[in-house]
Amino acid sequence: MDTSESARLFREASKVMVGGVSSPVRSFSSVGGNPLFIARGEGSKIWDADGNRYVDYVCSWGPLVLGHCDKDVVDAVLREVRNGTSFGAPTVPELELAKRIASALPSVEKVRFVNSGTEATMSALRLARAYTNRTTFLKFDGCYHGHADPFLTQAGSGLATFDLPSSAGVPAGGTSVITIPYNDMESLDEAFREHGGELAAAVVEPVAGNMGVVPPEPGFLEKLRGLCTEHGSLLIFDEVITGFRVSPGGAQGLYGVRPDITCLGKVIGGGFPVGAYGARAEVMRLVSPEGPVYQAGTLAGNPVAMAAGLATISKLDGHAYSRLEEASTALEEGIIRGAAACGVEVTVNRVGSMVGLFFGPGRVNDYSTAKASAHGLYPRFHRKMLEEGVYLPPSPFETIFLSTAHSDEDVDATVAAMKHAFKGVSA
Ligand code: HOZ
């Protein structure tokens, strides 16, 4: 496979961009080789700068639930762009998207749009602190809530990929955070027993998607909800990945657990930069200009992003979710079959169109089991899959995403490619 043009571009980029990329996990440094420069996408496929074609399972790290260049999304965006790209003033598309979000998520009566998931989570934490008049918060090992200071200890995504326990530049002990293992009921009890009265909030990915995919064990979210209520702490669901992806009502709809504050991003922007946080009106009324919690943004609620998000979620009907489920089940089963046929032990965790592939035997239900998986095999597997025309996330701690554009043929071809790649890994 010739990737010389990507390699040339990466050399050039490395001179003027940190690590040659705009976000660390894109660098391929955990899987080896140079990152591919992507020239275009259509449906389930992407093409790199050398003209190689891949079935894409990154889907822009989650937002592209309809695949690349969905016609209705593109049309909506072009229509909106012709009206002007940004006004820094209220527009109809943001009103429409806010109404759609509030009707899809019973826990959300009012919403505030921001420009990224990071902004959503950091603002949600500020709001919870103001509401409770407390500072400390609880989070879970391996969950990733963007890169605001308070969240950068024992976090997933890039910190897991590069094995960083925390980020430099974050004042030690300055953030009042308690971090406990995901899915661990005893630690939950203990954390609330010891600190319940001080906790402004517990923040959690209701399906963890940044240490690979780790679903909540039965009762985990329910218990967390109960403890938050009992101790007067707010429960923040980071649904930046799961919102509108795992069900029309996100993970809260899927598991029937209602958070106090919900953070959104990715799918609601249809491939444009977007984030949002929302809650019942009684909580949101603390946000400026209704209340004293300050938070603002020049491009917040950008009409083009709102139009893309609206067009995207408008297409997510029952048929779309069934199609996602069908294709994702076929991929899951194909991975398991292919690995077994090659004598490679794998664990596959899946919630809807979020798929997590872990090498090695045994359950993966938290950060320590995710890190203990044989992720050293992933770089070779990743490289082989690229050679077979399949683009997987360039880190074993990220999610494999499917879209409604992934056809049966795509999945069959991927499963066939995986058989070769598993053989290569086991050799
Ligand atoms: N936080 C994203 C993955 N969970 C990374 C996004 C990117 O590198 O583009």
Residue range 216-239, pLDDT digits in tens: 999 999 999 999 999 999 999 999
Give the ligand 1 atom nearest the CA of 210: 4
Catalytic residues: 144, 238, 266
Query: Residue 175: its pLDDT value, please?
Result: 62
Per-residue confidence band for 160, with pLDDT thresholds at 50, 70 and 90: confident
Query: Residue 166: its pLDDT value, please?
Result: 79
Whole-angstrom distance, CA of residue 215 vs CA of residue 182: 10
Q: What is the CATH number of domain 4-69+317-426?
A: 3.90.1150.10
Query: Residue 241: its pLDDT value, please?
Result: 98
Q: Which residues contact 6 (CB under 8 A, 6 or more apart)?
A: 34, 35, 36, 37, 48, 49, 50
Phi-psi region of 35 (alpha: psi -120 to 50; beta: other; left: phi over 0): beta
All structural domains of the chain with their residue ranges? 4-69+317-426, 71-314
Q: Which is it for strands 354-359 and 400-401: parallel, antiparallel or unpaired? A: antiparallel
pLDDT in tens, 57-74: 999 999 999 999 999 999
Say what percent of the chain tops pLDDT 70: 99
CA of residue 23 to ligand 1 center, whole Å:
7
Residue closest by Cα to atom 9 of ligand 1:
23
> Is pLDDT of 415 > 70?
yes
Q: Is the CB of 147 under 6 A from ligand 1?
A: no
Asked if the peptide bond before residue 35 counts as cis, ω within 30 degrees of 0, the response is no
Query: Residue 300: its pLDDT value, please?
Result: 98
Q: Is the CB of 111 under 6 A from ligand 1?
A: no
What's the rounded mean pLDDT across residues 380-388? 97
Q: Is the CB of 61 under 6 A from ligand 1?
A: yes
Q: In the predicted model, what is the mean pLDDT of the chain? A: 96
Query: Residue 168: its pLDDT value, please?
Result: 83
CA of residue 61 to ligand 1 center, whole Å:
6
Query: Residue 169: its pLDDT value, please?
Result: 81
Q: Is the CB of 22 under 6 A from ligand 1?
A: no
CA of residue 193 to ligand 1 center, whole Å:
35
What's the rounded mean pLDDT across residues 174-202? 94
Q: Which amino acid is at 153?
A: T
Q: Is the CB of 155 under 6 A from ligand 1?
A: no
pLDDT in tens, 28-45: 999 999 999 999 999 999
CA of residue 345 to ligand 1 center, whole Å:
27
> Is pLDDT of 117 > 80?
yes
Give the ligand 1 atom nearest the CA of 399: 4
> Is pLDDT of 375 > 90?
no
Query: Residue 4: its pLDDT value, please?
Result: 98
- Lowest-pLDDT range of 70-79, 155-164, 325-334: 155-164
Query: Residue 342: its pLDDT value, please?
Result: 95
Residue closest by Cα to atom 7 of ligand 1:
23
Per-residue confidence band for 154, with pLDDT thresholds at 50, 70 and 90: confident
> Is pLDDT of 16 > 80?
yes
Q: Is the CB of 205 under 6 A from ligand 1?
A: no
> Is pLDDT of 162 > 90?
no
Torsion sign, CA atoms 59, 156, 421, 2: positive
Altogether, the residues listed in the chain come to a count of 427
What's the rounded mean pLDDT across residues 408-421? 97
> Is pLDDT of 81 > 80?
yes
> Is pLDDT of 397 > 80?
yes
Query: Residue 348: its pLDDT value, please?
Result: 98
Q: Is the CB of 23 under 6 A from ligand 1?
A: yes
Phi-psi region of 143 (alpha: psi -120 to 50; beta: other; left: phi over 0): beta
Provide DSSP, 1-56.
---HHHHHHHHHHHHHSGGGSSSGGGG-TTT-SPPPPEEEEEBTEEEETT--EEEE
| 222 within 8 A of 259, measured Cβ to Cβ | no
Query: Residue 45: its pLDDT value, please?
Result: 98
CA of residue 281 to ligand 1 center, whole Å:
31
Q: Is the CB of 25 under 6 A from ligand 1?
A: yes
> Is pLDDT of 172 > 90?
no
CA of residue 155 to ligand 1 center, whole Å:
13
What's the rounded mean pLDDT across residues 351-365? 96
What's the rounded mean pLDDT across residues 153-162? 81
Residue spans of alpha helices (H) in 53-145: 71-82, 92-104, 117-132
Per-residue confidence band for 266, with pLDDT thresholds at 50, 70 and 90: very high
Query: Residue 163: its pLDDT value, please?
Result: 74
> Is pLDDT of 173 > 80?
no
Per-residue confidence band for 243, with pLDDT thresholds at 50, 70 and 90: very high
pTM of the predicted model as reported, rounded to 2 decimal places: 0.97
Q: What is the CATH number of domain 71-314?
A: 3.40.640.10
Q: Which of 203, 276, 197, 188 is nearest to 240 (CA)?
A: 276
Whole-angstrom distance, CA of residue 177 vs CA of residue 276: 23
What's the rounded mean pLDDT across residues 110-126? 98
Q: Which of 25, 162, 400 to mutate to test the pocket of ligand 1 (most atoms within 8 A of CB)?
A: 25
